[in-house]
A and B are shown apart, each in its own frame.
Chain A
Amino acid sequence: EVQLLESGGDLVQPGGSLRLSCAASGFTFSSYAMSWVRQAPGKGLEWVSIISGSGGSTYYADSVKGRFTISRDNSKNTLYMEMNSLRAEDTAVYYCAKGFQTAAGSAYNWFDPWGQGTLVTVSS
């Protein structure tokens, strides 16, 4: 069974940093692109970033470009999101999700499954 388990969410002050992790199991992790999607309280889904299976290709939403860095450790079956210069508008539940193919920019990257999410709150 494919499982994704996020961790690292916390309360952080504006301008602060945080690193999220997503531990994967039940599939060949390095063969699939992985993505982060977030959901602000009471709002809809916002795609954040995606990384290819090898880790060599990444894409970001404009809202986080230059502040967030997606990475992966295929030896540990773990996806990461390094979040810097955090703002109040980054407050959200962050989900990791498995892509359908290995390439990050592929049109075949629908997301299934998703993890249970981890809450990031940016507030003073």
Chain B
Amino acid sequence: DIQMTQSPSSLSASVGDRVTITCRASQSISTYLNWYQQKPGKAPKLLIYAASSLQSGVPSRFSGSGSGTDFTLTISSLQPEDFATYYCQQSYRTPYTFGQGTKLEIK
């Protein structure tokens, strides 16, 4: 199975900050990497698919990059509604594994 490792596991930041979350795959997954946002008590929401494609309706302050084994999710200017947990997921091969999550908290 392909292991996905996110860093950091938690992060404190302020409104307006630029934030980067990293996801590393245990083997090359090309660009088959997706990012989700989950708020407490809610279902996950797709933000980015295929490493860098912004899902319709997602604000442009979210962006993704990377290929092979190393990927990043960047939020250019944090807004209050962005405080949530973020997960990466590889869809290169089943089982479609997720990272352990990065909890983004208000500083």
The interface of chain A, by Cβ under 8 A from chain B, is 35, 37, 44-47, 50, 59-62, 95, 100, 104-117
Contact = CB atoms under 8 A, between A and B. Distances in A.
Contacts, number: 69
Contacts of B94: 50, 59, 104-105
B45 interface: yes
- Which has the most chain B C-beta neighbours within 10 Å: A35, A45, A108, A116? A45
Question: Among A35, A107, A108, which residue has the most Cβ atoms of chain B within 10 A?
Answer: A107
State which size class the interface on B falls in: 20 to 34
Contacts of A116: 43
Nearest to A115: B43
Interface in B54-105: 55, 87, 89, 91-101
B52 interface: no
Interface in B8-42: 30, 32, 34, 36, 38
Interface of B: 1, 30, 32, 34, 36, 38, 43-46, 49-50, 55, 87, 89, 91-101
B87 A114 contact: no
B55 A112 contact: yes
B91 A61 contact: no
B95 A61 contact: yes
Residue among B38, B91, B97 with most chain A CB within 10 A: B91
Nearest to B97: A47
A45 B87 contact: yes
A45 B44 contact: yes
B89 A110 contact: yes
Contacts of A95: 43-44
A116 B50 CA distance: 24
Nearest to A48: B95
Contact of B96 (A50, A114, A115): A50
